[in-house]
Homo-oligomer: A and B are copies of this chain.
Amino acid sequence: MQTKNDPDIYTTFQAICKKFNLKVTPQRIAVYDAVISAHDHPSTDAVFRKVQDRHPNISFDTVNRTLNTFAEIGVIDPVEGHGAPKRYDPNLAVHHHFHCIQCGAIIDLYPDMFKRIEIPSELEKKFTVTAKRILLKGYCARCRTEQKSD
């Protein structure tokens, strides 16, 4: 991952903008810098607050819109599920999930499709693991068809 001190960060960002026909604005540079140098998984609000240090006049909407743009062009990745309304799973048996990134469908996958997941012991020393799941993201059968016909 690049860091804030990397002198290439601006050059890299310029190249990305050029590729996707985005204008290089101070706001976009600031958001790019803030999010790309984060070592956690920041929320829109966290990025907004970080950017505000140097750009007190930036609006929340700009940060939000910019993050959405960056996610669309693949500069950052929206963390699984977050941002969508809460949903409940009545199936308490061990199983896995496929998330459709277009329509939001969540499809159950059965454990015999996959190898058993072994949790490394160094991890269980630090964390209490209550559930483990394989999570696949992509386009479901229906959305994939629509995708192809674009």
Give CA–CA (A109, B126) in the complex, Å. Answer: 12
Say yes or no: A85-B45 contact (C-beta < 8 A), given A139-B127, A141-B127, A144-B127: yes
With A77-B92, A128-B144, A144-B127: A42-B98 Cβ-Cβ less than 8 Å? no
Identical chains in the assembly: 2
Stretch of A10-18, A22-30, A52-60, A130-138 at the chain-chain interface:
A130-138
Interface of A is mostly: mixed
Look across to chain B and name the residue whose beta carbon is closest to the beta carbon of A38: B90
Chain B nearest CB, measured from A127 CB (Å):
5
Task: Specify which chain B residues have a CB less than 8 angstroms from the CB of A41 in the assembled complex.
Answer: 87-89, 106
**Residue pair B137, A40 in contact (C-beta under 8 Å):** no
